Homo-oligomer: A and B are copies of this chain.
Amino acid sequence: MAKVKKQPRPKAETPKGFRDYFGAEVAQRKAMLDQIATVYHRYGFDALESSAVETVEALGKFLPDVDRPNEGVFAWQEEDDWLALRYDLTAPLARVYAQHRNDLPTPYRRYAMGPVWRNEKPGPGRFRQFYQCDADTVGAASVAADAEICAMLSDTLEAVGIPRGDYIVRVNNRKVLNGVMEVAGILDPTDPEKFSTERGIVLRAIDKLDRLGPDGVRALLGEGRKDDSGDFTKGAGLANEQVDVVMSFMEAKRADGAATVARLKELVSNSTIGQSGVQELETIAELMAAQGYASDRIEIDPSVVRGLGYYTGPVFEAELTFEIEDEKGRPRQFGSVAGGGRYDDLVKRFTGQEVPATGISIGVDRLLAALHAKGRLDKAAVGPVIVTVMDRDRMGAYQSIVGDLRNAGIRAEVYLGNPKNFGNQLKYADKRNAPVAIIQGSDEAERGVVQVKDLVLGAKIAESASHEEWKAQPAQREVALADLIAELRKMLGDMDSDGAG
């Protein structure tokens, strides 16, 4: 051998904040995406897959959660352009609609699912690549479009396995909030830019009600708040009377939708925009009722604001209401798994014309985590039937057996490692969670039979059986090769042995 200068070996690691998904994880997510797509499609939405890479210019500055310092996108310079990985599916939709609007129907209902990337500080359970699953209607000004999104969100949650009662879709309206801001003196309809910094802080403060409680929010509305670590977050600087107005809005929820609407009407009686927002909430409530969506599925909740700055009308949030245990074993509500709302200005950036739009984004990974927490998803999938190799020279015969099984739709494979040690073959079958192993030595081959080993039953017996039972080997029996497929079908029973999803 020639002397080749040794280079240091590369590290076998994903970049920080990224991860890989294996077997059952991939299959479960795919199954969920398929279930969601089926509902979206049934509602008349068409699939769109935009490119993962966009120009920074097209993505614009619509980054969520602007108060976080490490917030950003993954971007790089390419010749004259700055390119970036999409950070959500909404900004690309605005670009797609502006680019193709002459060829697309109006309204344009589209759904999209795929990974998005955030250049944020990774943390436990917090990754820099994750899946979103969105549906949006572009070009429909009517709140009937918003109501449809809420109904679809409710149907979708039930389709993926969240039973009614375990979730609630909450609806609010930014116009009502703007009306409250007007009443509180931090929105001047004749000068919309004035107080925009204060309003941004108010929005984000309200969005943190769950986490910080009313006192924490009051602090952020006023001078500011010192957190447990001693860090100080500057507040909106509102006077006490102003803070009271905003807090009364957040606490406006009553026992039923009609009472909540009545309370909101009182609060914004001096604001035209606020009144129009309440009117929209009433219409949405009527449309939901007409379709039979009662308050066990959808409710009006003034505390929902959604952090994103770009919403202009109705906003929605789906929350799972059951409790799970947190890292420390304490019970807590699972919380939000989807959110969205109406954003009438995103397309305008490109075209100069206002295009009304509304939509929803489902956090698929969080929804999967919820189903796992409720024990509704299996950890491991059933593996293939393993045809073991007793006799290396008869590989062709083993391949022929496995070929027949596959043609019959049975998931199966020949052991392809070194066949010398038979114990390793069974260990492999165990690691693959294989339901059955098939064994054929030259003696069996001559007689046209195989040994069929039931690994599920075998594992049970190994756990609990007496020595006699163990020796009797009820988990293994001889089957004529001609009967193998029928026998396996019986054994695999209702196990899903061929679904890739």
Binding site for B on A (CB under 8 A): 1-2, 4, 9-16, 18-23, 25-27, 30, 34, 37-38, 40-44, 46-55, 57-58, 60, 74-76, 78, 81, 83, 85, 95-96, 98-100, 105-107, 109, 115, 117, 119, 128-129, 137, 139-142, 144-145, 147-148, 151, 155, 190-194, 286-287, 289-292, 349-352, 381, 383-384, 395-397, 399-400, 403, 406, 409-414, 416-418, 428, 431-432, 498-501
Contact = CB atoms under 8 A, between A and B. Distances in A.
Given A81-B15, A145-B416, A431-B105, A10 B41 contact: no
Given A12-B58, A12-B351, A145-B416, A406 B42 contact: yes
Contacts of A141: 418
Given A49-B20, A350-B12, A396-B286, A109 B413 contact: yes
Which residue of A25, A74, A399 has the most chain B CB atoms within 10 A of its CB atom?
A: A399
Given A2-B191, A20-B49, A22-B47, 20 more contacts: A11-B58, A11-B350, A12-B350, A12-B351, A14-B95, A15-B54, A20-B99, A21-B48, A22-B100, A25-B49, A34-B501, A37-B501, A41-B498, A44-B384, A51-B129, A52-B52, A53-B129, A140-B416, A286-B396, A290-B397
A129 B54 CA distance: 12
Contact of A20 (B10, B51, B145, B287): B51
Contacts of A137: 416
Which residue of A148, A396, A498 has the most chain B CB atoms within 10 A of its CB atom?
A: A396
A410 B15 CA distance: 45
Contacts of A99: 12-14, 20
A417 B106 contact: yes
A311 to B, nearest CB: 19
8 contacts: A10-B60, A20-B96, A40-B500, A53-B129, A107-B428, A137-B416, A142-B416, A148-B416
A10 B58 contact: yes
B129 A10 contact: no
A199 to B, nearest CB: 14
Contacts of A410: 42
A51 B26 CA distance: 12
Contact of A12 (B16, B98, B140, B395): B98
Contacts of A418: 141
A23 B45 CA distance: 9
Nearest to A286: B396
Given A10-B60, A53-B74, A47 B27 contact: yes
Contact of A38 (B20, B57, B192, B498): B498
A22 B10 contact: no
B290 A44 contact: no
Q: Interface majority SS on A: helix, strand, loop or mixed? A: mixed
Contact of A399 (B11, B40, B287, B384): B287
A85 B129 CA distance: 12
B13 A58 contact: yes
Nearest to A46: B23
Contact of A18 (B2, B53, B76): B53
Nearest to A56: B10
A451 to B, nearest CB: 20
A51 B501 contact: no
B148 A399 contact: yes
A58 to B, nearest CB: 5
A353 to B, nearest CB: 11
Given A193-B4, A500-B40, A399 B147 contact: yes
Given A287-B399, A292-B403, A396-B290, A107 B416 contact: yes
Contacts of A38: 498-500
A371 to B, nearest CB: 18
A299 to B, nearest CB: 18
Contacts of A42: 406, 409-412, 498, 500
Given A20-B100, A51-B129, A291-B400, A350 B416 contact: no
A20 B48 contact: yes
Given A20-B49, A498-B42, A14 B417 contact: no
Contacts of A190: 1
A137 B60 CA distance: 43
Contacts of A47: 21-23, 26-27, 30, 500
B49 A21 contact: yes
A367 B287 CA distance: 45
A100 B12 CA distance: 9
Nearest to A14: B51
The 8 closest A-B pairs by CB, nearest first: A44-B413, A290-B396, A12-B98, A76-B76, A26-B47, A18-B51, A41-B500, A140-B416
